[in-house]
Amino acid sequence: MPVKNKLTLSVQFADDRLAADLPRPLLRRWVQAALLGPAELTLRFVDESEGRALNRDYRTKDYATNVLTFAYSETDEATVQADIVLCVDVLMREAAEQQIPVTRHAAHLVVHGVLHAQGYDHEAEDDALAMEKFETEILAGLGMPDPYANAAGHKTGKIPI
């Protein structure tokens, strides 16, 4: 049985279209699966307008992206602290494009955001491959298929995040 790390989790639905589909216990389970140590996290679900403003103001990219992670703790701190912002419009659009359930895509984005909060990134190809492998393992542990594979189960070679 995996170790459950101490977790303080706040969930905010500024855009509540997925609130009924993403109950707090389910979100907590996904976050816990990706944690490597104790954490204080906020998951915030926003609309395209807020997602675009945050991406523009903090990353100078003038579009809404699927997930943004604002990590506040230093790498040597015992407790990870971060805000993870998921854009409902982008999440729903991507799930439709990939022809997968919204909840499955949400799980992937939550895991992805939690890994970012713990220092993982995908700027370099080696880091991207390592992060992709770890995400795939975590999601498999949650009973979900590889998010980087196509419908036939073959790797797409394209990171959907």
Q: Where are the domains of the chain?
A: 7-141
Helical pair 24-34 and 125-141, crossing angle rounded to 10 deg: 130
Mean pLDDT across 65-71: 97
Spatial contact of 50 and 66, defined as CB atoms under 8 Å apart: no
7-141: which CATH number, 3.30.450.20, 3.40.390.30, 3.30.1490.20, 3.40.50.2300?
3.40.390.30
pLDDT of 159 strictly over 50: no
The pLDDT score that the predictor gives to residue 49 is 98
- The CA distance from 140 to 144, in Å, is 5
Does the pLDDT of residue 151 top 90, yes or no? no
